[in-house]
Amino acid sequence: MTSVSIPITAVEFGEDVEQLVLEVLRSGMVAQGPKVAALESGFAELIGVRHAVAVNNGTTALVAAMQALGLGPGDEVITSPFTFVATLNAILESGATARFADIGADDFCLDPATLPAVLSDRTRVLMPVHLYGQSADLGKIAPMAAEHGLRIVEDAAQAHGARQHGRYAGSHDIGCFSFYATKNLTTGEGGMITTDDDALADRLRVLRNQGMRQRYVYEMAGHNYRMTDLQAALALPQLGRYQAQVQRRRANAARLTAALAGVPGLRLPAELPGREHVWHQYTVLVEESAGVTRDELGAGLAELGVGSGVDYPKPGFDYDCYRSHPRVVVEETPVAAAVARCCLSIPVHAGLGDDEIDQVASAVREVMSR
């Protein structure tokens, strides 16, 4: 195999982005302004909701959503144990207690069947995470929330544009998105909250701006959660190209799946019926029966110039700082623990063409056959 270098993620900005950033610089208006407003309306349209509220990152989006709901000490939020740590940190920042249902082995997202066991009379919010770009099973989770009078805060940081039965991730109640550098849409750092709830959107707008609706008139104790027009200028041109980017990711995923089918000991990710995956990550499972371990596959790929990543090495609560935290309830989540031991993400991003995807696949085949 010839020497390659295929990173797990890549950011590329076109000339249109450079132009727009320059326009903002020359306007002298670099803080939150018209570009942020334009990004909000474009993003609301993408997700099919009435309101999108821009904030300075995805973690903030989650925190602000819970603050706007009035969450605090004594309230419980049920989320996935298999996610980036930001999900858990946001719950703790809100003052609420974090509890965990398990994930499904097919979609790596909250398994609705495991939710009832962790519901309590203190549960206020269900927080599904649309991991790797595939929607969690909101078809089952949303009715459960309605039945128990719970709000849904979707962690859609990895799932811009993902759908289940035609319904967008982030459109069920309150959606939280990230525009961090590695995400499908990026502003370097940035976030967005989506909702059809007029009153909640209004609270969020006031909350992010020091609790002010008008200058020096304070309605609540707020924060500075604002995004800048410079950041919005990075994302605006990406919005127009977003569907094409998703199609490229989908084509790359399909090509990987075709090329890796039948490799012994390798379980491939799948788009489940009724769902539209946006392939933020393409994550394989290295089964115990395989000739190599997950870590050996990652190391072997690195030798061949192919990037990979472990998303995520352990359930979120499985660290001393959380196990000893008074507001983290540690639960048994065997599926999450098992998946964390054998998962490996390989390159699928939209910067890759067919030839590179074929190189990724042959590198995986080569290492798996050792």
Please report, as ranges, the residues that interact with ligand PLP according to CB under 6 A: 57-59, 83-84, 86-87, 129, 155, 157-158, 178, 180, 191
> Shortest distance, CB of residue 7 to ligand PLP, whole angstroms?
18
Reading the block at residue 273, the tokens are: 């019926």
Of the pair 129, 266, the CB lying nearest ligand PLP is at 129
Residue nearest ligand PLP, CB atom distance: 58
Q: CB under 8 Å to 321, separation ≥6 — which residues?
A: none
Of the pair 225, 242, the CB lying nearest ligand PLP is at 225
> Shortest distance, CB of residue 157 to ligand PLP, whole angstroms?
3
> Shortest distance, CB of residue 57 to ligand PLP, whole angstroms?
4
- The 174-178 sheet, strands edge to edge: 51-55, 191-195, 174-178, 151-155, 123-127, 76-79, 97-100
**Pairing status of strand 282-286 against strand 343-346:** antiparallel
**What count of Cα atoms within 13 Å lies in the side-chain half-sphere of residue 336?**
26
Q: Identify the DSSP state of 20.
A: H
Reading the block at residue 24, the tokens are: 């903002």
Which residue, among 268, 294, 272, has the nearest Cα to 361 in the 3D structure?
268
User: Could you give the angle at which helices 58-68 and 86-94 cross, rounded to 10 degrees?
Assistant: 30
> Shortest distance, CB of residue 300 to ligand PLP, whole angstroms?
26
Give 6's strand partners.
306
> Shortest distance, CB of residue 309 to ligand PLP, whole angstroms?
12
